[in-house]
Homo-oligomer: A and B are copies of this chain.
Amino acid sequence: MTDLAGVVPPVATPFTPDGDVDTASLERLCAFLLEAGVHGLFAGGSTGEIAMLTDLQRDSVVRTVVGVAAGQVPVIAGVVDTGTARVIDHARRAEALGADAVVATAPFYVQTHPDEVTAHFRLVHDAVGVPVIAYDIPGAVHSRLPETSVAELAGSRVIAALKDSSGDLAAFRRVLRLTAGTGLRVFTGSELFSDVALALGAHGAVPGLGNVDPHGYVRLTAAALGDEREVAFAEQERLAELFEIVAVADRSRVGATAAALGAFKTALHLRGVIDHPATAAPFSPLDAGEVARVRDLLIKAGLEVVR
């Protein structure tokens, strides 16, 4: 973990039409990502529909990803849940299954004070033997991790890394400034300004779209970390146009999460990586016209489709 860098896609969780984890497709997806050269795998992130998976399904996902990774790259496992004791239960299971680190948000459902949030991370840290990564995702948990809290947790080595999915570049830079010298690994969750984040000192990116086009993010990351700014910019622009797939679903019928994750899975299905585009119940699927628009955007981005 102390030198984790580069692209760490939050691996999508393929389902069978019956709603089971489609382990074969998940293995194929992990292999696809590894072949593209990603630097780590994030099993059970928001893109992996962690919030929708039962505990058994979470275990199955971690076990499968760890199995395919086989030590080639680190596997970090999402242990997202509402409260500290629940997160610790997940974290211990993920550790036992071979995860190299666990990724936790602040408590949610409840309303917390920042000091309660830092106490939460300390308790998770103390409960497991693997590093803890803090996950700042206000769109899901409806609170922010204050930059000063991140700095405090980094300074005391409670967290080893941060995934910032806030979309707030100003705060992200402040975190980089406040944690300089602590050893904290800082990752952006933004699909859309990975190039900038890396140029500013981030260690890597955790882009959901990285499932669909891992080669693109690997090229982007290499260029950005190698100071080939124009290459990184061009790649980022191409990926931004591809990201429009999350906007094809008719929002009078489909919620925001299903629109995004349904588009990623539809793309993976069209590309031949997974067998079914299904998202978890109760998410609504994309309709035929929307699938066709995803296909168009894949082709426009220069990606091969097989369906």
Interface residues, chain A, CB within 8 Å of chain B? 19, 46, 49, 51-55, 57, 80-86, 89, 107-113, 115-117, 119-120, 122-123, 139-142, 167-170, 173-174, 177, 190-193, 196, 200, 229, 233, 237, 240-241, 251-258, 280-284
Contact = CB atoms under 8 A, between A and B. Distances in A.
Contacts of A108: 51, 108-109
A85 B280 contact: yes
A84 B51 CA distance: 9
B255 A111 contact: yes
A32 B28 CA distance: 57
Contact of A52 (B49, B85, B111, B252): B85
Given A252-B252, A282-B107, A282-B117, A170 B142 contact: no
A85 B19 CA distance: 9
Contacts of A251: 113
A107 B170 contact: no
B89 A177 contact: no
A253 B85 CA distance: 21
B110 A51 contact: yes
Contact of A196 (B19, B84, B109, B196): B196
Contact of A169 (B115, B140, B142, B196): B196
A257 B117 CA distance: 13
Contacts of A109: 46, 51, 80, 108, 140-141
Contacts of A55: 55, 86, 89
A83 B53 contact: yes
Contact of A257 (B57, B110, B170, B283): B110
Contacts of A192: 169-170, 173-174
A282 B116 contact: yes
B107 A51 contact: yes
Contacts of A113: 251, 253-255, 258, 284
Contact of A85 (B111, B229, B281): B281
Going nearest first, the 10 A-B pairs with the smallest beta carbon separation are: A52-B83, A119-B282, A51-B82, A113-B255, A170-B192, A111-B256, A51-B109, A110-B257, A112-B255, A120-B282
A13 to B, nearest CB: 12
A89 B190 CA distance: 33
7 contacts: A46-B110, A51-B107, A51-B110, A108-B109, A111-B255, A113-B251, A169-B193
**By CB atoms of chain B within 10 A, which of A83, A139, A140, A240 has the most?**
A83
A241 B173 CA distance: 11
A179 B297 CA distance: 20
A237 B177 contact: yes
A136 B75 CA distance: 37
A119 B52 CA distance: 14
Most B CB within 10 A of own CB, among A19, A51, A233, A256: A51
